[in-house]
């Protein structure tokens, strides 16, 4: 039977987690997904904030388990985070992210939360999880180059006069369809895992595997990709501007959904080690974290949407499409492998990459320098503050 003390302690930690979820919703997951679409005038700032909140909530519930468990249990070895450690880590990270929101600079939430959790974990006497750190750092370092490079190449391809733009855009729509077919959803998998649309429907076809390759999955993936490409092609042929706008809104929705699946783990992950004493299931934590993201998106995201959409680069439809496609792909890779990743880093680097495709048009170098410094500073500062605060509190108590 759960003790009143355990429930009370968990309640305090949950409030800190809700504050963290609000800060993330206002700053990272709430502002970045639709920023390119806003920059291209495909959707208004206020409407983007409302829509991204709902989609982020759904992503948190349906895809949030992997990153949540990684943040809660895989960043430090040898110890289990205590309630006081979770509270200190969450409050430290949330305050830093909130400062970034009100200052108009997108603090990298993954950097901040990771630094805070590692800081309190090591202060408790835990061991560094070097293998996980290497995995995380590889993704963090590659993201600006891969995401920005892919956005640059896509934007240049869409600008080429020798290549039919409608054909290229439709092909990109098919690529998005193929990714959607293979991303994991909680409702399609076993109780302790996730399943994909292609995997579920492909298994129902009854086609035999060839050299351990699931033929059914490939067939379903190709079919969904073809349908997506044909639908987008028809939409573009009716009206190119309207078709581009529709594609931008779909991409923004997909990135917003992915943001919820990734970012919710940063808010509720530290609660995982202590929820065993309460009997609260993981799905309830995901729902609560998703609600916090939704509140943050509705109340605080418009300010950051404006900052990212207008201050980093001048965005047209083609550059916005080029920025959102690699952002969606990288986000889903991070979700699949349970790696905490910053959506600010993903989106900002993709926006800059697509902006550079037009010969540096509209790219604010000063803003970028301050942003990168804020990312690095948030990691170092959150680690140092959480380590020092926990050490001081433990010594006093």
Tokens of 128: 């560094």
What residue ranges do the domains of the chain occupy? 4-160+260-396
Residue given tokens 């433990």 in the structure block: 394
Give the model's pLDDT for residue 330: 92
Closest CA to 355 of 164, 147, 52, 165: 147
| Mean pLDDT rounded to a whole number for the chain | 83
Average pLDDT over residues 280-290: 84
Q: What percent of the chain is modeled with pLDDT above 70?
A: 85
Q: Write the pLDDT tens digit of every residue in 163-210.
A: 888 999 999 999 999 999 999 887 777 766 778 899 899 988 888 877
Q: How far apart are CA 9 and CA 15, in angstroms?
A: 10
The DSSP 8-state label assigned to residue 189 in this structure reads S
pLDDT tens digits, one per residue of 18-62: 888 887 877 666 556 666 667 666 677 777 777 888 888 988 888
Least confident of 9-13, 142-146, 364-368: 364-368
Between CA 187 and CA 194, with CA 191 as vertex, the angle to 5 degrees is 50
**Residues in CB range of 234: below 8 A, 6 or more apart:** none
∠ CA(207), CA(210), CA(215), 5° rounding? Answer: 45
Residue matched to tokens 């603090």: 107
pLDDT (tens digit per residue) in 335-375: 888 888 887 788 888 888 887 876 655 556 676 777 778 77
Instruction: For the chain, give the longest Cα–Cα distance.
Output: 70
Distance between terminal CA atoms of the chain? Answer: 27
Count other C-beta atoms under 10 Å from residue 338's C-beta: 19
């Amino acid at each position: 039977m759960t003790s009143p003390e355990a429930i009370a302690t968990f309640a305090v930690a949950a409030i800190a987690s809700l504050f963290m979820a609000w800060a993330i919703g206002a700053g990272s997951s709430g502002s970045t997904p639709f920023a390119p679409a806003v920059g291209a005038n495909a959707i208004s700032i206020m409407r983007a904030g409302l829509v991204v909140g709902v989609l982020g909530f759904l992503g948190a519930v349906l895809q949030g388990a992997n990153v949540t468990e990684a943040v809660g249990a895989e960043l430090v070895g040898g110890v289990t985070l205590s309630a006081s450690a979770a509270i200190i880590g969450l409050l430290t990270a949330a305050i830093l992210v909130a400062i970034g929101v009100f200052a108009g600079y997108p603090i990298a939430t993954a950097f901040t939360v990771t630094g805070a959790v590692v800081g309190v974990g090591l202060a408790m006497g835990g061991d560094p999880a070097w293998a996980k750190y290497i995995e995380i750092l590889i993704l963090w370092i590659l993201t600006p180059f891969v995401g920005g490079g892919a956005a640059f190449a896509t934007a240049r391809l869409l600008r080429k006069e020798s290549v039919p733009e409608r054909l290229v855009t439709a092909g990109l729509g098919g690529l998005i369809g193929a990714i959607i077919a293979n991303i994991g959803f909680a409702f399609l998998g076993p109780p302790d895992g996730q399943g994909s649309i292609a995997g579920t429907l492909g298994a129902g076809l009854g086609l035999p595997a060839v050299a351990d390759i699931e033929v059914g999955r490939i067939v379903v993936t190709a079919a969904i990709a073809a349908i997506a490409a044909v639908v987008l092609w028809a939409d573009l042929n009716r009206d190119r501007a309207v078709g581009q706008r529709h594609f931008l809104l779909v991409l923004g929705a997909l990135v917003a959904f992915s943001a919820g699946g990734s970012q919710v783990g940063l808010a509720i992950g530290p609660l995982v080690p202590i929820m065993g004493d309460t009997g609260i299931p993981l799905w309830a934590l995901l729902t609560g974290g998703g609600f916090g993201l939704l509140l943050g998106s509705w109340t605080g995201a418009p300010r950051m949407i404006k900052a990212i959409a207008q201050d980093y680069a001048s965005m047209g439809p083609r550059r916005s499409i080029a920025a959102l496609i690699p952002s969606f792909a990288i986000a889903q890779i991070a979700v699949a492998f349970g790696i905490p990743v910053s959506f600010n880093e993903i989106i900002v680097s993709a926006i800059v990459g697509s902006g550079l495709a037009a010969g540096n048009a509209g790219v604010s170098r000063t803003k970028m320098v301050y942003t990168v410094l804020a990312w690095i500073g948030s990691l170092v500062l959150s680690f140092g503050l959480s380590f020092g605060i926990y050490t001081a509190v433990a010594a006093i108590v």
